[in-house]
């Protein structure tokens, strides 16, 4: 979990992510989102909205325990990664966390 937490935080600090519902939706619709990360604690309606939005724009959706804490904005539950290298890093950290590879 620490690798994933650190990768998400580094992405935000590097300016390669957008957070918050409005900014994320705008980024997805503009075709700039490479990955969307959504907290597992989001409401079912919110999950369904992002699942549909990501599916219709071909953007992978990652569900995780925490987004806000990782980026230093505890009220945020969603973020969009806008850089392919950071997307790859975060996905690799997720796989390592899940024990699939490392």
Q: Domains in the chain, start-ordered, CATH in brackets?
A: 2-98 (3.30.1330.30)
Q: From residue 32, give the alpha-carbon distance in Å to each of 11, 18, 41, 97, 100.
A: 15, 10, 25, 26, 28
C-beta of residue 94 within 8 angstroms of C-beta of residue 4? yes
Chain centroid to CA 91 = 10
**E strands within the chain?**
17-19, 35-39, 61-64, 78-81
Give me the pLDDT at residue 73, please: 78
Give me the pLDDT at residue 43, please: 94
pTM confidence score: 0.88
Q: What is the mean pLDDT of each run of 10 residues along the chain (102 residues)?
A: 87 93 96 95 95 97 84 84 95 70 36
3-state secondary structure (DSSP) of residue 16:
coil
């Amino acid at each position: 979990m620490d690798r994933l937490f650190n990768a998400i935080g580094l992405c935000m600090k590097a300016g390669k992510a957008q957070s918050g519902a409005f900014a994320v939706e705008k980024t997805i619709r503009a075709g700039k989102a490479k990955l969307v990360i959504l907290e597992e604690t989001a409401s079912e309606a919110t999950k369904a909205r992002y699942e549909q939005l990501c599916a219709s724009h071909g953007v992978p959706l990652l569900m995780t325990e925490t987004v806000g804490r990782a980026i230093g904005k505890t009220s945020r539950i969603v973020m969009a990664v806008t850089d392919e290298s950071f997307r790859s890093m975060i996905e690799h950290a997720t796989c390592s966390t899940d024990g699939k590879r490392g």
